[in-house]
Structures are given as structure tokens and as C-alpha cells.
């Protein structure tokens, strides 16, 4: 960033190298932040407990997923009235985003992905379902473990770390789910 601010002309190869360094630094920052979140949750640190409009989180996340995955059919199934829960809004958003990213990355084009919210008295079910090929039976036992990748060749291509579902599990557990 400092090199770019100087405003000097750089050869294309240098500019490309700096872009790669910056991209890798951003990726590593995200990885460290994910690992820190998991470590904090492992220590039993409390999450925020504020009123959260789960409906708004789902609408925003599905909208973003649609923009990132135009080749999928994104749907929502939820009550007309907003569903408000107590929780940590950024972490709940992260759960929904991670689940939708998994559906996008690990299902073929044309897959229907549906996010559902179903209230049950004091609790709420949040579901993400799709009509994709499903999860291989051999992967089910380790699905929520850290660094688990369902399809290693795809994971390398997409740049995933294998932490998404571990974070989902830890955050949902910390919320009592």
C-alpha cells in the first residue's frame, strides 16, 4: 500500500508481485482472525447477547450469496414478521455466510439453496438446505472439525481453510444451539 501511495510508476511484474503479497496478507489475516475466534470460544468466552434481527441477517446473507453465486438458485423460507433473537449479530451473520458459502462451493451450478427460519416458542430453527449431491458418508464424522475439507482439490482451488464449519459449530454451540 505504501508503494502505491508514492505514485511512482512500477513495472507490471512488480505491481503484480505487490498485488499477490497484499492478497496473501489479507488471506492470512482472515485465517488468524478465524483461529482467534475459535480459541476464544474454546476458552468459554461469552458472546454478545443483544436483540438481533435474524430475518435481516438472512435476507442480507442470501442477497450476498446470490451476487457471489449467480449460477445457484437462492431461496428463503421464513415468517413475514421479523424474527428477533438474543445473540451476537456479527457471529450469527458469520454462521449464515459460512453455511451459504459452503453450499455455493460444494454444489454444482443450478443447485437450489434454501435458508429457512422456523420459530418454536422461545427457540428458532435456522436451516440451510440444498438439492445438491449431499455430503459423502465418509466425511460426516469430521465435518465440523478444524481444517476439514470435503473435497481437497476444490478447496485448494477456492482457497478455503477448512475452518468455516468449525466456526459455525463453535458459534452455534456458544449460543446454546
Residue 156's pLDDT is what?
A: 42
All cell numbers assigned to 138: 465418509
**Running DSSP on this structure, what letter comes out for residue 142?**
T
Mean pLDDT (whole number) for 109-131: 94
- Confidence at residue 8, expressed as pLDDT on a 0 to 100 scale: 77
Confidence band of 7 (pLDDT split at 50, 70, 90) = confident
Which whole-number Å values give the CA distances from 64 to 6, 134, 141, in the listed order?
34, 23, 30
For residue 145, give the DSSP letter: S
Dist CA 70 CA 58 (whole Å) = 17
First vs last C-alpha separation in the chain? 42
Residue 126: predicted pLDDT = 96
pLDDT band at 25 (very low <50, low <70, confident <90, very high): confident
Identify the top-confidence range among 51-55, 141-145, 160-164. Answer: 51-55
How confident is the model at residue 16, as a pLDDT?
A: 80
Predicted pLDDT of residue 56: 96
b/e per residue, 115-137, with b = 16+ CB within 10 A?
bebeeeeeebebebebebeeeee
How does the average pLDDT of the chain come out, rounded?
A: 85
- Which DSSP symbol is given to 21? H
- The 10s digit of each residue's pLDDT in 151-163 is 554 444 455 677 8
Per-residue model confidence (pLDDT) at position 154: 44
Amino acid at each position: 500500500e505504501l508503494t502505491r501511495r508514492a505514485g511512482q510508476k512500477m513495472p507490471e511484474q512488480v505491481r503484480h508481485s505487490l498485488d499477490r503479497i497484499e492478497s496473501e496478507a489479507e488471506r492470512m489475516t482472515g485465517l488468524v482472525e478465524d483461529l482467534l475466534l475459535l480459541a476464544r470460544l474454546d476458552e468459554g468466552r461469552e458472546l454478545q447477547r443483544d436483540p438481533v434481527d435474524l430475518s435481516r441477517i438472512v435476507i442480507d446473507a442470501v442477497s450476498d450469496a446470490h451476487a457471489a453465486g449467480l449460477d445457484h438458485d437462492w431461496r428463503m423460507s421464513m415468517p413475514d414478521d421479523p424474527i428477533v433473537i438474543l445473540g451476537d449479530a456479527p457471529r450469527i451473520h458469520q454462521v449464515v455466510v459460512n453455511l451459504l458459502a459452503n453450499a455455493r462451493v460444494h454444489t454444482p451450478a443450478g443447485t437450489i439453496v434454501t435458508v429457512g427460519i422456523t420459530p418454536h416458542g422461545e427457540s428458532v430453527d435456522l436451516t440451510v438446505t440444498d438439492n445438491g449431491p449431499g455430503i459423502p458418508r465418509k466425511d460426516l464424522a469430521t465435518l465440523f472439525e478444524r481444517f476439514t475439507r470435503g473435497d481437497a482439490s476444490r478447496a485448494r482451488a477456492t482457497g478455503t481453510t477448512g475452518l468455516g464449519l468449525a466456526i459455525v459449530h463453535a458459534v452455534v454451540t456458544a449460543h446454546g444451539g
